[in-house]
Structure 1
Amino acid sequence: MQIREMKSADLSAIARINVDTFKQTQRKWLPDDVIRELSYDATEERFRQMLSKTERFSTIFVAEDNRGVIGYAMCGLAREQVLSYAGELYGIYILPEYHGKGIGTRLMAASARYLLDQGITSLYVVVFTENIGGQKFYKALGGQWVYERAIQLGGKKVSETLYGWKSLNAFFALSERGQLKK
């Protein structure tokens, strides 16, 4: 299994992972119409448009094994001002059958290293509050609770929790000491 920067040929696989993961892991708390409207083609087009407008310092990393792309992480400059966090992990999505194998940790490390190389030393991530697995994952990687907020999604009020890393160097220090849980 390898982690590498995305190539344009990966876009279809990334869209498929995004849709499949949302449908399998997040349908419990997202409105039915939001789940129903998810499609591979629309998601691929949304990613294509997003990437064409992407600011400098943004990238996507993919996890790939002999089956092909099995997960991805997207990171870059913070899209909104959240305290003093300069970077944002836009998301990590991994096919459910690969959860718990350390792939998310490796994607997070690649994202954090990329941001540090660009001079971005802190980041935050937004996770649905009801996504307990996602919250546990980010806490295990040293993410600190920042705050919770409510948003409207598909006509339904949904809660999001933000986690932050004030120092990506501290993230790597934990990693080097073997203190990150996988």
Structure 2
Amino acid sequence: MPGYHLPMTTSLVELRPARHDDTASLAAVHAEAWRLAYRGMLDGLDLERFVARRSRGWWHDAIDKGVEIEVLEVAGEVAGYASYGPCRMRGTGCAGELYELYLKPEYQGLGFGRRLFASVRTCLERRGLKGLAVRVLTDNEPACGFYAALGGVLTGRSWHQTGGKRLELSIYCWHETDR
């Protein structure tokens, strides 16, 4: 048709570093994902305290401090994020660590978590941080299953004390030879 041009297509999914204008979205993703993942595992008051700590201001400060945060954007909406950096756990044999990976509930189970994980792993390797470790609440069976399905090897356990409750954490690792 003369004078008619098809619109330029762009990717509906973008992985990128977090920006200050993402802070409200990051706080919302964190709150939704935590409430879904940890309801019943954490005392309701403890859960809400953890959620409340991650306000827009917390995210703004994290970005200012240079915390590595990868954002998953789907059709212009922040759908998830992952934070990562040098491994803080001794004895894992891994130089990199995935600190957090959370998706809004409606984006879970669609392959977006795998894409975000792969992007983080590539970012860590580019920084020379070979091998990757992650800690996950052992009672969070969906998360444990997710990391195991990605090839993570359960290499240890640790514990976190909160609200008078001792929570077991599982440590999954991907060594550089696992790539």
* TM bin (shorter chain): 0.7 to 0.9
> What's the counterpart of residue 36 of structure 1?
48
Equivalent position to 1:3, from 15, 24, 29: 15
Q: Is the 8 A contact 1:16 1:40 kept in 2?
A: no
> What's the counterpart of residue 3 of structure 2?
none
Higher Rg of the two aligned structures: 2
Structure 1 window deviating more from structure 2 (144-153 vs 31-40): it is 31-40
Deviations 1:135-155 (A, max 9, x none): 010011110001122220122
Q: Is 1:65–2:74 an aligned residue pair?
A: yes
> What's the counterpart of residue 86 of structure 1?
95
Equivalent position to 1:76, from 75, 82, 85: 85
Equivalent position to 1:136, from 133, 145, 151: 145
Q: Is 1:170–2:178 an aligned residue pair?
A: yes
Q: Is the 8 A contact 2:20 2:63 kept in 1?
A: no
* Matching residue's letter, 2:39: R
Cα pair distance change 1:41/1:66, threshold 3 Å = farther
Equivalent position to 2:62, from 28, 33, 50: 50
- 2: CA distance, partners of 1:91 / 1:42: 13
Q: Is 1:113–2:122 an aligned residue pair?
A: yes
Q: Is the 8 A contact 1:31 1:153 kept in 2?
A: no
Counterpart secondary structure, 2:56 = helix
Gaps of 5+ in 1: 172-182
- 2: CA distance, partners of 1:165 / 1:48: 30
Aligned residues between the structures = 167
Counterpart secondary structure, 2:97 = strand
In angstroms, what is the RMSD of aligned CA positions? Answer: 1.8
What is the CA-CA distance between 1:7 and the residue it aligns to?
1.6
Counterpart secondary structure, 1:151 = strand
Gaps of 5+ in 2: 1-12
Q: TM-score, normalised by structure 1?
A: 0.83
- 2: CA distance, partners of 1:147 / 1:97: 31
- 2: CA distance, partners of 1:51 / 1:154: 28
